[in-house]
A and B are shown apart, each in its own frame.
Chain A
Amino acid sequence: MFDTTDLVINMGPQHPSTHGVLRVVLRLDGERVVGSDIVIGYLHRGIEKLCEQRDWAQIILITDRMDYVAAASNNLGYCETVEKLMSLEVPRRARYIRTILAELQRIASHCLWLGTHAMDLGAMTVFLYAFRERELVLDLFEEYCGARLTYNAMRIGGLPLDIPTGWDRKVRAFCDLFETKVAEYEELLTNNRIWLDRTRNIGVISGEDAVAIGLTGPALRGSGVPRDVRKAEPYAAYAELEFNVPIGAAGDTYDRYLVRIEELLQSVGIIRQALDGLPEGPIIGKVPRLIKPPAGETYHAIESPKGELGYFIVSDGKSNAPYRFRVRPPSFCNLQALPRLIQGHLVSDVVALIGSIDIVVGEVDR
């Protein structure tokens, strides 16, 4: 009857809900999304190429800058890859402390996700509550290594620093406090009628599709696929610790929310166990003074807060820098699912779905 055209709307790169500089070009019919185009690259810093120009130890602090809200996880992934390449033995104490740091990092990253995701849906108080607890984690990191965001907290073969005196007690106190705070977030959201309406059946993706598209991390587990690198290919000290891998059923935004909330509690459990079983001993293994891995290539992945963070590194055995340095960033791979998730939903759901796959543009673009 009427001659209508689609409304093309440019969401980002400066939009309050695109979590940095993601740009989504939406084609709308009314408010319904009929097509979308995701434009990335606004935060590209050439990190992979840069790493091929730096020697092996210098790369650790560059990895901080990829997923800048989970720097310790990036450090862990890189250090373990090089250790695998060099067949280095990491002392048990170092592996335990690495695990504690990685799980604290998971809590900090999930807190940031929870806050921004809730804020995108209009629940602004949760944002400040979640940041309040994230602040406590950052304080713990600051006491451990002096930095609050880009930690440079690990070394090839172990750790630069042992934990400060009394730090373990503070971590335990944080764990006790944090459990009550998670209950507080859940009270505000989990059974909230509006929250349920806004997240249930939004962006449903089946387990098969999620695997086919390459989703990893909580976004994959929300669809009911119990894959967690910590269980599947244990690294650090995870083989010796007990934890559950929460999975969802429907694969919608609400399930992804529940999975992450449960992961927060599981992380608290892992930290407690690691502190209980923290062995004595050195914190760094026998590392040659000049790090020069033998010629060869390796891929090693860890479970970063956002999904499977993998490093593929090729060494030619001659130079002081990697011959090829390639990262499999979970944010980038998970972002592939976005056009499919938002198809047919409303503009309001687009912001919910961008939040629900939990991306960091620094990691997407590198």
Chain B
Amino acid sequence: MTTQRTQVAIVGAGPAGLILAHLLDSYGIESIVVDDRTRGEIETTIRAGILEHSTVDLLANHVAGSRVLTTGERHNGVNLRFAQENHRIDFAALTGRAVWLYPQHEVLKDLIAARLDAGQDLRFSTRGVRAQSNGTGAWVLCEDADGREFQIDADFVVGADGSRSAVREAITGSHTSGFFKEYPFAWFGVLCEAPPSSHELIYSNSDDGFALISRRSETVQRMYFQCDPEDDTSAYSEEQLWDILQRRVPGTELQRGHIFQRDVLRFRSFVASSMHKERLAIVGDAAHTVPPTGAKGMNLAVADVVILAKALRALLREGDARLIDGFEDAV
């Protein structure tokens, strides 16, 4: 077994792990990032697409080559629709801020390219991760793509490895230790080949239930409607799906097209019972999972790592543990 040494080992090459690695590098702290997925899987899995103002500021100003401002779409408002009325929430007028539509997998392409272009350590297809801490250091044991076991010794290990986090168990003592809520409804999501039905997002309440008209690009659209968590995605024809969506969004004629992906997103909230122990911490979905309603998952993860990066800078460069000791409260 080979052993390597770094200052921070990061498990998970999603937005939280990669942005943390980037921030740490800017603070002069080296890291190794591992992920059990291939680069192709990470860069093609379609997830959320709404970035908050501060997330965009961070990507645009601090990540070399980020395309968020050139490829992303600024949205200055959204529409709330109920009782046959449309109410536009004007972000720009109310707050001076906005959100950007820029899909998560595009964010990840930028972050991966920036890290690899800078010659920094990022390892895909790394499986069987186990993490431990002894109070003054921590380590990660895992297998590379060829099944060879290796160990990363680090001053600190961060789990940014999603809702099924392997690092969380090392902190909380149990994979499920925390606070959990499951909602009695879910979202039926579709991806379709069609022009946009609305420039800005529509969140619609109707007697038939909720629907969200979102977008991905000029030719691909994302739409959701409230459904039963046990709904079978294959139980509906495309025409039935369009009819359900249309009934729930009165006042807008939906632009129909081929539905090429459909899924049921269950609504679950989870907060881990602890997010930090000794030289281990978890961030993003590993620490707290939220339903997709407010497009908050990635943005909360980014807020986490901004706080954690400052705490690790204080700990590893100045020997000051006060911020990391207060990390859980700050998050």
Do they bind each other? no
Interface of A toward B, CB cutoff 8 Å: none
